[in-house]
Amino acid sequence: MKQFNEKLANWMSPSPSKEAGINNIQIPGQVEHLVWQTRYKKPTVYEQDFVKHLIQAFASGVTELNDLVDSLNRQGFRRESGEVWTMQSFTEEMQRLGY
């Protein structure tokens, strides 16, 4: 099973493509369905750890951004750079990761 949508990586561009998506037309009954339709690369270990810590925070009842940031810091999960989380750095990281 593929871990990400290889065709999606081709569309990751700051400007729209002027080409018509040659060889990307889906023929009914011949479509390869991917489990990860919107993922353009396999998640890194950091991204997988991030998800685990977010799940733990939400499972403990966190619903507000400041509480989420506090929970990540209390759990000992740091930014990829090793710094503690702030509300601003969390927001920027979500934008960077595309969520």
The predicted-structure confidence for 63-80, as pLDDT tens digits, reads as follows 999 999 999 999 999 999
Same domain, 33 and 58: no
* Residues of the domain holding 27: 1-41
For residue 88, name the pLDDT band (cuts at 50, 70, 90). very high
Same domain, 37 and 49: no
Same domain, 24 and 59: no
User: How far is Cα 53 from Cα 62, in angstroms, rounded to an integer?
Assistant: 12
Residue 9 in this model has a pLDDT that exceeds 80? no
User: Residue 45: its pLDDT value, please?
Assistant: 95
Q: Give the number of domains in the chain.
A: 2
User: Residue 68: its pLDDT value, please?
Assistant: 98
Phi and psi angles of residue 59, each rounded to the nearest 5 degrees, phi first: -65, -25
Same domain, 63 and 88: yes
Q: How many CB atoms lie within 10 A of CB 82?
A: 6
Render pLDDT for 14-46 as a digit per residue (tens, 0 to 9). 565 566 555 555 566 666 666 666 677 788 999
Same domain, 49 and 85: yes
Same domain, 49 and 91: yes
